[in-house]
Chains A and B, each alone.
Chain A
Amino acid sequence: MSVAPKRRDFLDALADRFDLACEKTCDSAAHEFRLAGNRICLKFASRQLQRELTAALPPAATRDAHEKPSLTVRLWDSTTTDVAAPAPPWGPEAFGARGEVNCPALHPMRACFDIEHGILLVFDPETKQGYAWFRDINRIPPWEIAAPLRSLFGWWASTIRGQLMHGAAVGLDDAAVLITARGGSGKSTTALACLAAGLDYCGDDYVLITPGKPNQVHHLYSTAKADKTTLVDRLPELVSSEHEFDPRNGKATLFLRDQYAEHLIESLPLSAIVIPKVVDRKETRFHREGTGAALRAMAPSTLFQLPGTGAEEFQTISGMVRETPVYRLELGDDMKQVVQEVKRLLRHEGDAVAGRNCSC
């Protein structure tokens, strides 16, 4: 069998299984939203799956009937439909350390499989069609609900020269900072403190960056993760009796869309990269930092969590870092001062970006 038919056969089989799943439930649903100015269409074989996976996504957006979706994803699960994914056209040796499927014969199709939770994601960049199969709707992990289809959106992003990035982003007056660091560095606390203080918010864990002059940050997920100590001690205004803390890491997922809708900004110009670090003092300070530190803070955690990424994506991230001022943010105890310093940086770098782009 030649290469192209093997890929087409598998994609056709996925489509057939999705259609069968819809016939089984008679309960299909759709969710459309905008991402980086593009129309994204998610088609669910069941409303139950739709409810599970759309709480973190941007709200439904009205659309021009003539606008073709930039990405269409068909999603179903075997629990509600009793329909499984078709057999994979690759052997078990094709699975990589990040769950990615390494099968050159199916190029340029991208795929990954979460073995522990039985989640398959497939993306065909030629047709901009994606598929998501969940073996058991009751075993979808909390991080998938907080940031659904992350890998698939990441693969799609590369078709528009964008990059899904591990990091938070907050903004003010048409400027945004990307806050990026390994876990425990104060990224989420900083972002949530800024949101609680009324700043614009593009995301906590993942945002989409697209090229431009300047580069643009785009909102995708309206969730954030925070532990009990952070919420109770530092951000009491965000505490809710509905929060469920994961016993494994003590963190709760906050769904921010309803309460903070007016602060969830679709897109903002990227003006700086911020690497936070908690220090043992009250004052918060900014210092210029080298680009290597930013690359180390952003690239590994981004790429290790996006199956199938490699040199090309590393170059994309590097290029973005080279074009953006980098700061180290030494986080003191005083959260109000943290927010003030972030605002100060946003105003400073926002003016600089405006000056750099001025053609007069």
Chain B
Amino acid sequence: MYRINTPTVVSEEMDGEAVLIHFKKGCYYSVEGVGAIVVRGITEGDSSATLASEVAAIAAVPVETALVAIERFQRELLDEDIVAYAGGSPPAIESTEQTEFSIPSLEKFTDLEDLLLLDPIHDVDAAGWPKTNPADEGASSTTD
């Protein structure tokens, strides 16, 4: 079963659109329609089978078709580190058959990536504060 990769990832659904934020990558995502339903289902702990029944009813497709599409979408979420798989490795997707039904891909936004540090771990000064400038060795009054 998949779960949202909290607290690194947060998600909210609003008017049929799921908005997700990844706090380590500096990306955010949007998915609408059936994709938002799947994200909601993962958030609520629904199994893939449960989601497949719901999606099949909405999209008027066979449950098996919905399940394959959901599993592909979940892999996309996994590849983006939005979800984690609880309990070992995720199962292989059983069908390689191409169908007309698929869940729309995540829309990914990377315009704010620069706001996050690439490497938050740095050298530290004599008092233990990170520094980027070798000259930053702290003031003289540092007795503890």
Contacts and interface: CB of A to CB of B under 8 A. Distances in A.
Chain A complexes with chain B:
yes
Interface in B103-144: 109, 111-112, 115-117, 120-122, 124, 127-132, 136, 138-142, 144
A84 interface: yes
Interface in A70-113: 78, 81-88, 92-93, 95-99, 113
A116 B127 contact: no
A140 interface: no
Interface residues of A, number: 45
Contact of A135 (B14, B15, B26, B136): B136
Which interface residue of A120, A295, A305, A322 has the most chain B CB atoms within 10 A?
A295
Interface stretch (A53-61, A221-229, A308-316): A308-316
Interface of A: 13, 20, 24, 78, 81-88, 92-93, 95-99, 113, 115-116, 118, 120, 135-136, 182, 290-292, 295-296, 299-301, 303-305, 310-311, 314-315, 318, 321-322
A93 B21 CA distance: 23
A249 B103 CA distance: 40
B23 interface: yes
A61 to B, nearest CB: 33
Nearest to B111: A182
A300 B28 contact: yes
A300 B129 contact: no
Given A113-B130, A115-B132, A135-B138, A295 B14 contact: yes
B124 to A, nearest CB: 6
Contacts of A84: 127, 129, 138-139, 141-142
A116 B29 CA distance: 29
A82 B143 CA distance: 12
Interface string B11-44: 0101111010101101010101000000000000
B120 A310 contact: no
Contacts of B116: 97-98, 304
A310 B128 CA distance: 26
Given A292-B30, A300-B109, A98 B138 contact: no
Contact of A305 (B15, B115, B140): B115
A93 B129 contact: no
Contacts of A87: 127-129, 142, 144
Contacts of B136: 118, 135-136
A118 B120 contact: no
29 contacts: A13-B144, A20-B141, A78-B138, A82-B139, A82-B141, A85-B127, A85-B129, A87-B128, A87-B129, A92-B121, A92-B124, A97-B23, A115-B117, A115-B120, A118-B131, A118-B136, A120-B129, A135-B136, A182-B111, A292-B19, A296-B109, A299-B21, A300-B112, A301-B115, A311-B6, A311-B7, A311-B10, A314-B10, A318-B12
Given A86-B144, A115-B117, A92 B109 contact: no
A310 B19 contact: no
A136 B132 CA distance: 13
Nearest to B26: A304
Contacts of A98: 23, 115-117
A99 B111 CA distance: 19
Contact of B30 (A13, A92, A296): A296
Contacts of A96: 23, 120
Contacts of B127: 84-88
Nearest to B114: A304
Contacts of B117: 97-99, 115
A147 to B, nearest CB: 14
Contacts of A81: 139, 141
